[in-house]
Amino acid sequence: MNNYKYHQLIFLLLIVLLSGCATTTNYSKRGDVHEFIDRMNTKHHFDREELCTLFSKVKCEPKIIKTMDKPHEGKATPWCAYRAIFLTPEKIKQGVKFWQKHAETLAAVEQQYGVPAEIIVAIIGVETQYGKNKGSYRVIDALTNLAFDYPRRSKYFCGELEEYLLLTREQSLDPLEPVGSYAGAIGQPQFMPSSYRHYGIDFSGSHHADLCNNSADAIASVANYFKAHGWRTGEPIAMRANVYGDDYLKFATKKLKPSFSLEELSECGITPRDKVSPTMLATFMIFETDSAPQYWLGFHNFYVITRYNSSGYYAMAVHQLSQAILRERGEG
C-alpha cells in the first residue's frame, strides 16, 4: 500500500470513529450527566444507581442534533410550500373521519373548555396525522442527546429531561419505552414532557393522562392547553383583509401578539373583510402565494395557537385546516 492510500485509509477511519458515537458514547460515564443525576437525587430523590443504569442504555443519535438545526418545516420554507404539507385533500378527509370517530368526546370537551372541536382536530392532524405518526425516537434518547450535546438549548432540554423522568415515575412507565419526535415531544398532541405534566388531562377516567394511546385524553389535553393560555370562546381567530395605499406596509411586522386596533389599522388602509368590532386588537400579516399576496389579520386566539408553536405559518395552517375540515363536514 503506498503512502497516499495509507493516509487516505487513516483519514476515513477517523471519520468513522468520530461519527460513531451511537455505538461508543456511554452517557453514564460523563461528568455532566453525573451532575444531572446528583441533582435528580437531591431534588427528587431518584436513585443514583438506577439513573446511572438508565443513562448507560441511552443511545447517542447524531441525527437528532442535525434535525434540530434543520427542521423539516424550516423557517425559510415559503408559505405555499408550508401550507401544502398540511392542507391536502387526504388530511382534510382524515380530519373528518377523526371527528366522526370521536364526536361525543369532542362535543363534551368543547362544552367544558370552550375550544372549538375543529381547532382540536386540526392540531392533532398537523402534529401527528391524527395519531398515526407520533415519532420514532425513544424520548429518553432525544432528550438526553439534546440536553448534553446541544449547547445552544442545553438548559431547556435538561429541564425537559427532568420533567420526563418525573412523568415516567408518576405514571409507572419504563423511561426506555416511550417514543416521540426528535425533540422529545410525546403522544398524539406532541406535548413536551413539561406540558404533558402540567396540561395533560385524564378525560377517560383511567387514572392517568395517556396522550399516546387514548384519544379522549389527547383531545381534552389540547383543549386544556389552549384554555390555560387564554383562549377566548366565541372570538375570531384570523380574517382576510383588504389593503390600499402604501401605509399598510409599516404594520407588516413579525410580531405575533395583537397590538394594533382595527380602527388604527383602518386609518392606514387595512380593513377586515368581515364585520368585527373596531376596538379589537390584531396583528397584520402578509402571506405570499403563487399568484398574489394574501393579507390577514390575526386576533388574540390566533396568538394563542402560536403558544403551541411560535410560528405564524403554523397557526395559519391550523386555522385553515380547521376551516377546511368544517367545510368538508358541511358546516363551513
Predicted pLDDT of residue 142: 98
Judge whether 72 lies within some domain: no
Yes or no: say if 117 and 110 are a contact pair by the CB < 8 Å rule. yes
- Residue 282, SS3 per DSSP: strand
Active site residue 118: no
* Any domain includes 293: no
* Residue 24 lies in domain: 20-60+136-185
Give the pLDDT confidence score for residue 22 in this predicted structure. 42
* pLDDT computed for residue 253 by the predictor: 80
Amino acid in position 85: I
User: In angstroms, rounded to a whole number, what is the distance separating the alpha carbons of residues 149 and 153?
Assistant: 9
> Which residues are CB-contacts of 296 (< 8 A; sequence separation ≥ 6)?
238, 239, 240, 241, 284, 285, 286, 287, 316
SS3 at position 290 = coil
Encode 37-93 in three state secondary structure.
Answer: HHHHHHHHCCCHHHHHHHHHCCCCCHHHHHHHHCCCCCCCCCHHHHHHHHCCHHHHH
In a domain, 78, yes or no: no
What does the pLDDT read at residue 109? 98
Residue 89 lies in a domain: no
pLDDT at 63: 95
Q: Per-10-residue mean pLDDT for the chain, 332 residues long?
A: 51 42 74 97 98 97 91 70 95 98 98 98 98 97 98 97 98 97 98 98 95 97 98 97 91 90 94 93 93 94 97 97 96 68
pLDDT of the residue at 11: 44
Q: Report residue 329 as a C-alpha cell.
A: 363536514
Residue 155 lies in a domain: yes
- Is 169 among the domain residues? yes
- What was the pLDDT predicted at 71? 64
51 located within any domain: yes
Among the listed residues 127, 160, 162, 163, the single catalytic one is: 127
* Residue 254: predicted pLDDT: 81
CATH number at residue 177: 1.10.8.350
Q: Over the range 15-41, which residues count as b (16 or more CB within 10 Å of their CB) and which as e?
A: eeeeeeeeeebebbeeeebbebbeebe
pLDDT for 73 equals 54
Nearest alpha-carbon partner for 314 in 71, 150, 106, 95: 71
Record the pTM.
0.90
The confidence score (pLDDT) of residue 246 equals 87
Cell 382540536 belongs to which residue?
A: 120
pLDDT at 23: 44
Convert the pLDDT of each residue in 176-218 to its tens digit.
999 999 999 999 999 999 999 999 999 999 999 999 999 999 9
pLDDT (0 to 100) of residue 87: 96
Q: What are phi and psi of 255, to 5 degrees?
A: -75, 130
In a domain, 211, yes or no: no
290 near 80, Cβ under 8 Å? Answer: yes
Closest C-alpha to 189, from 112, 131, 119: 131
> What is the total count of domains within the chain?
1
